[in-house]
Amino acid sequence: MAEEKEMKTEEKKEEKKEEKKNKVKDMVPKQDFDELDDRYKRILAEFENYKKRSSKERENLYNSILGDVIEVILPILDNLENASKAETKDESYKQGIELVLKQFKDVLESKGVKEIKAIRRNF
């Protein structure tokens, strides 16, 4: 019996909610509703375009900065390679240079920089 009363009470609440929704719909003229709906859809589309555009700009900026940094660092790589080829009596010094050179190359490779074999080859 108590369960039936609770169910009826909930049904009445649902009916009142529906009535309120219908009243609100009736209060806003269809033309105004359509205008607001159209504005909402346009703003939503503009925002989606903004998100895509800003993501693409961020990616382009990252690639540009990465390219600039790598361009400045490449002469250091050349100097490390020359240092590793230099004759020295200190083997631990030579191993240290080779380890730094390997680490440097690994970092560049992780960022997508690949060596191009260009000596005596046509581009």
Residue-wise pLDDT for 39-49, tens only, equals: 999 999 999 99
Least reliable range by pLDDT among 25-34, 36-45, 66-75 = 25-34
Is residue 120 within 8 A of residue 103, CB to CB? The reply is no
Backbone dihedral angles phi then psi of residue 120, each to the nearest 5 degrees: 55, 30
Query: Which pTM value belongs to this model?
Result: 0.53
- Between 25 and 17, name the one with better pLDDT: 17
Count the domains in the chain: 1
- Tell me the residue range of the domain where 70 lies: 23-110
Instruction: For residue 32, tell me if it sits in a domain.
Output: yes
For position 22, what pLDDT does the model report?
64
User: Is pLDDT of 87 > 80?
Assistant: yes
Instruction: For residue 16, tell me if it sits in a domain.
Output: no
Distance CA(15)–CA(79), nearest Å, equals 81
Give the mean pLDDT of 96-119.
88
- pLDDT bin (cut points 50, 70, 90) of residue 121 is confident
Instruction: For residue 116, tell me if it sits in a domain.
Output: no
Give the mean pLDDT of 43-58.
97
Distance CA(1)–CA(11), nearest Å, equals 15
For position 46, which CATH number holds? 3.90.20
Give the mean pLDDT of 15-22.
72
Distance CA(93)–CA(79), nearest Å, equals 15
Mean pLDDT over all residues of the chain?
Answer: 86
Give the mean pLDDT of 39-63.
96
Instruction: For residue 61, tell me if it sits in a domain.
Output: yes
